[in-house]
């Protein structure tokens, strides 16, 4: 397992240009320590160069039977080429695969290259049969895509499994209906009777609990209609 001081120097061993995952790492340490003592299945949507994948492999994969499935187009997102958050995308897939191999746990990782909605439909098929203990959604930051990822991923999450949304607090687009929060809040309200909120900050972590259990119903605030739609 990587200690905090070692993780800050992770770039010495891996080819990583961005630190996007680092701010959320402390809450991951608290939330998913429970997963490190048994074989687990993990799904990660959006991997970029693999910084979060490395953390998962180094900190959670203490059993040879644990498996990580990753989904990414390796083409970057629109903000990576539009100037909003411009980054180098050349050889992105090559960097990711090389970083995974450096963990020496590459044999426990499967890469599904392509759009998340296409690959999530494949995973939801009867032939797949795979279910996950942990799902991390950090793919497209467009609200419509985030909602699709949430709906399709929820069906794949085991009861008592953990789902983590990155960028819950992201306000990159001037139109509120384009940012992830409205999609995530809509999803949460649809499933309010079967979720437990574990952490809410820039990231949001929830646990899937059984339907019909006697528990409080939480309403997640949605934006007023006049903030969501264009005024005509």
Q: What is the CATH number of the domain that holds 14?
A: 3.40.50.150
Number of domains in the chain: 1
Band of the pLDDT at 4, cuts 50, 70, 90? very low
Band of the pLDDT at 175, cuts 50, 70, 90? confident
Q: Is residue 136 packed enough to be buried (19+ CB in 10 Å), middle (13-18) or exposed (0-12)? A: buried
- Sign (positive or negative) of CA dihedral 57, 62, 64, 68: negative
For residue 88, what are the domain limits? Answer: 4-228
Q: How far apart are CA 141 and CA 149, in angstroms?
A: 11
Instruction: Kindly state the tokens that stand for 197.
Output: 């909120």
Q: What pLDDT, in 10s, does the model give residues 15-60?
A: 777 675 766 677 788 878 889 989 999 999 999 998 999 999 999 9
Overall pTM surpassing 0.75 (yes/no): yes
Distance of CA 20 to the CA centre of its chain: 12
């Amino acid at each position: 397992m990587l200690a905090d001081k070692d993780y800050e120097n992770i770039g010495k061993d891996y080819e990583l240009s961005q630190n996007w995952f680092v701010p959320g790492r402390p809450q991951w340490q608290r939330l998913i320590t429970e997963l490190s003592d048994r074989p687990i299945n993990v799904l990660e949507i959006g991997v970029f160069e693999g910084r979060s994948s490395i953390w998962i492999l180094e900190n959670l994969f203490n059993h040879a039977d644990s498996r990580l499935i990753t989904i990414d187009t390796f083409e970057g997102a629109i903000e990576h080429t539009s100037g909003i958050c411009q980054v180098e995308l050349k050889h992105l897939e090559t960097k990711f695969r090389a970083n995974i191999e450096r963990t020496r746990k590459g044999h426990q990782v499967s890469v599904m290259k392509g759009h998340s909605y296409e690959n999530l439909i494949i995973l939801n098929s009867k032939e797949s049969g795979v279910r996950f203990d942990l799902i991390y959604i950090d793919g497209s930051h467009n609200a419509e895509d985030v909602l699709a990822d949430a709906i399709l991923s929820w069906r794949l999450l085991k009861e008592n499994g953990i789902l983590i949304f990155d960028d819950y607090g992201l306000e990159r687009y001037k139109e509120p209906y384009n940012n992830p929060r409205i999609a995530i809040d809509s999803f949460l309200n649809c499933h309010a009777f079967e979720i437990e909120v574990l952490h809410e900050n820039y990231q949001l972590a929830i646990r899937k609990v059984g339907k019909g259990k006697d528990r409080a119903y939480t309403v997640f605030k949605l934006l007023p209609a006049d903030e969501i739609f264009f005024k005509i």
